[in-house]
Amino acid sequence: MDKLKAYIVIGGMILLSILCIQNISGLQFGYKLENFFGKEDLQFQFYKNYKNQFGSDNNFLMIGIESKDGIFDQSFLEEVDVISKRVEEIDKVDRLFSPTNIRRKIKIPYLGVRSEPLLDFSSQSELLKSSQLESRSNNIYSNLFSKDETAIILYLVIADTLSKKEKGALLASVKKETSYQNNESSQIASVHFAGQVNTQMYYIDVLEKEVVLFALITLILLVLFIAITFRSLFAILSSLFILILAVVFTLTLIKWQLGELDFLMTMLPTLLFVIGVSNTIHLLATYRDEFQKENDKNKAIVSTLKTTGIATLVSSVTTAIGFFALYFLPIVPLQNFGIYSGIGILITWGTTIVLLPALLIVTKRFALKQKKGRNWQEFLGRSLELFLNKKRIITGSLVSLLIIAVIGITFIKSNSYFLDDLNDNSSLKKELLFFEQKFGGIRPFELAVTIKDPTKNLLDITAMNELEEIEDYLVNSYGVGMLLSVNSIFKETNYFLHSGNSKFYRVPESEDELADLTKCIDKLRIIDKSGFIVDSTITSARFTGKMDDIGSASMKMKNEDLLSFLESYNSTFNFEITGAAHLMDKTNENVSLHLLKGLSFSLLLVTLIIAILFKSIKLALFSLIPNFVPLLLIAGLIGWLGIDLKISTALIFTVIFGIAVDDTIHFLIHYKHALKRNVQGALMNTYKNVGEKLILTTFILSSGFLAFTLSEFNSTFFAGFLITLGLLFALLSDLIILPILITYIENKKSKSYQKSNL
């Protein structure tokens, strides 16, 4: 390649990147909880139909308002009433339920229907009467009051079809209208928010900050490592130029295909930076060595591409395969992360292999840099001799470590919490814990119930009594708070028919009561107004509420007990536990099986690639050992540390395997190239030349992933921490175990050859 062609390549890449930057300028972050569910799962299909029938279990926003002196205070309720009226007028708020705006209709004999406020705070004396009534009640509205009578809820129902921009605007407006003056005259102590809209906006806001933070930290670390290694401004600038272009090209593809970045994609720029710089360092180091041998730039470039260029291609392909394995996890964000990470790694390699030779052609300075110091060569040479001489001790130590790891693996359990992705300092977690402590939980609960007999509906005394028994079990044994059910509607209607007498806040006990209830429901079209609880045919309904965040493992046991309890009602009803939280638990529960599928896929393809490349199935199989050791050690560490197996944990294993096999490929390819001399000499030559690069690139990779430990999300923190350890384990495996395995295989070959000649 002459200089003209080199300048054309560089100019063309710059022009392409400018076009791409214009395309990704509007790229935004998205967070859709439903994307984490298995789309082909029958339970997910049921949930979709359930949502279409009753509406989303996530289209709400709760505002928790805490009082300084208790909620039954006239001044406090007047402030809440002002806030309620302001919030109710906000665009996109469909309905607002507040203790200050709810009016209950009561049928008075001969006088007709009277409407009275749930809480009459026109005077302190009237409020006292209302408070005494409400504090003793267990009706449909009691869910709006905390049990300790220190806080109330404003419950906003919002449209389920709002765009991200509309949700952000709505939340901003709500927070503006609920702001309060924290002074002596105000009776409001604090205001808190919960609901999908609040969670989604929080995640997006943090993601936008973290993706920039991770990228900046990684770039700074890369600059430092490259500067220390090559002491060259060219090496720094060319590496940054190549890596930024590769990220831009990958983000353009994501914008074109997906339209937005989701939660996991925040790791992608950092991932491509650290993996991409590994290729650049291998290529630049090889080029420097080759140039010092030949003193000819073109020959050095050609020689580098033939050896290290092929090695980086194979390692990039095997690394990409590791990420592609995430496709076997039936979770869209993980699938997308795996696919586009793998493609991004290949794009990064392609960008490097095209641009770096062109940049080397047009520069005059880089090739003049000095060789590596002898200290590295001597240190690595002595280390290899030590490891080969202490094979038995190393093997025994490794077996002991693996036994400890296997014991730790037996402690691993599949479990997840609704709040486990938020660290204790997270403002969102503090908000949600407020609702959990005051109002009986923030984890959604959904139970679908359908009457079996097509000739009947739920307006049946027997059915109502059975549903009442189920409701009692859900509240007192299962632990559901803020529970709403079809019986809540029936009991409220019965209360209306009997002049607001609290004794009649129950289901009908006679056919006459049932007849009156049915007439009232038909006349006032109560079922139509309560479509989010019961369908128009009154044959299907839902139990919906909130629970404490006790973890998916405990929920599984609770669900088994619930289904066992419901068996006695199976002759009357069909039941289905559903909802977003339940589906998330089911997805996490099956993560181990899908993880094994993904790793098996990676294992098979990588084995085939190594076997074809080196024409040895035995070498391919043995070379997988140093890549499995880090996985077993990390799995054992997860068990010993008590880290639960879930979606985010499963991600760690595929990433470690995908990146760890990169070092093995580089080592084996250089070893194959050096085999022109005797085995011992080839191994020593490989160890001295590749060892330094492996150590350097591993520390660069580890430093990049360590940046993730600064994340506000626990899943990202543990990903950074465990992947970093996994890469360090992989380096030690390749520098200690792989040479021992190679000598073992070569000795076997030599003995077989000697026997065949005898």
The DSSP result for 627-662, as a single string, is: HHHHHHHHHHHHHHHTPPBSHHHHHHHHHHHHHHHH
**Alpha carbon distances (Å) from 190 to 67, 80, 442, 546, 606:** 7, 12, 18, 22, 57
Rounded to whole angstroms, the Cα distance separating 603 from 631 reads 12
Give residue 343's pLDDT: 94
Residue 457 per-residue DSSP state? -
Q: How far apart are the first and last CA of the chain?
A: 53
In the chain, the amino acid numbered 40 is: E
Quick count: other Cβ atoms within 10 Å of Cβ 593?
Answer: 11
DSSP 3-state of 748: helix
Burial class (CB in 10 A: 0-12, 13-18, 19+), 149: middle
Residue 530 per-residue DSSP state? T
- Torsion angle of C-alpha atoms 428, 434, 437, 442, degrees rounded to 10: -50
What is the residue whose two structure tokens read 């389920």?
Answer: 160
Give pTM, 2 decimals: 0.80
Rounded to whole angstroms, the Cα distance separating 32 from 44 reads 15
Rounded to whole angstroms, the Cα distance separating 652 from 410 reads 18
Tokens of 521: 């429901």
- Break the chain into its structural domains and give their ranges: 1-45+220-371, 60-194, 374-410+590-758, 436-580
Give residue 637's pLDDT: 94
Rounded to whole angstroms, the Cα distance separating 569 from 673 reads 73
Cα-based angle 446, 449, 200 (whole degrees, multiple of 5): 20
Q: Strands, DSSP E only, in 317-393?
A: none
Give residue 118's pLDDT: 82
Rounded to whole angstroms, the Cα distance separating 343 from 272 reads 10
CA 280 to chain CA centroid, Å, is 30
Burial class (CB in 10 A: 0-12, 13-18, 19+), 68: middle
Give residue 135's pLDDT: 47
In the chain, the amino acid numbered 536 is: S
Reading phi first (left if > 0) and then psi (alpha if -120 to 50, else beta), residue 643 is in beta
Rounded to whole angstroms, the Cα distance separating 268 from 255 reads 13
Rounded to whole angstroms, the Cα distance separating 76 from 332 reads 46
Nearest to 61 by CA among 101, 96, 102: 96
CATH class of 374-410+590-758: mainly alpha
Three state DSSP letters for 418-445: CCCCECCCCHHHHHHHHHHHHHCCCEEE
Task: Please give the CATH superfamily to which domain 1-45+220-371 belongs.
Answer: Multidrug efflux transporter AcrB transmembrane domain (1.20.1640.10)
Nearest to 215 by CA among 631, 731, 707, 753: 707
Q: What is the number of residues in the chain?
A: 758
Instruction: Characterize the bridge pairing of strands 443-451 and 540-547.
Output: antiparallel
**What is the mean pLDDT, run by run of 10 residues, along the chain of 758 residues?**
84 90 73 62 82 76 90 90 92 88 78 78 80 62 85 86 83 88 78 87 83 85 82 86 92 85 77 85 85 82 87 87 80 84 93 92 65 66 89 92 94 81 85 86 89 91 94 93 89 86 87 90 86 90 89 90 95 92 79 74 83 82 87 93 80 82 84 76 86 84 85 86 92 91 75 53
Q: What are phi and psi of 260, to 5 degrees?
A: -160, 165
Tokens of 153: 């809820």
Give residue 413's pLDDT: 83
Q: Are 21 and 248 in contact (CB under 8 A)?
A: yes
Q: Are 405 and 636 in contact (CB under 8 A)?
A: yes
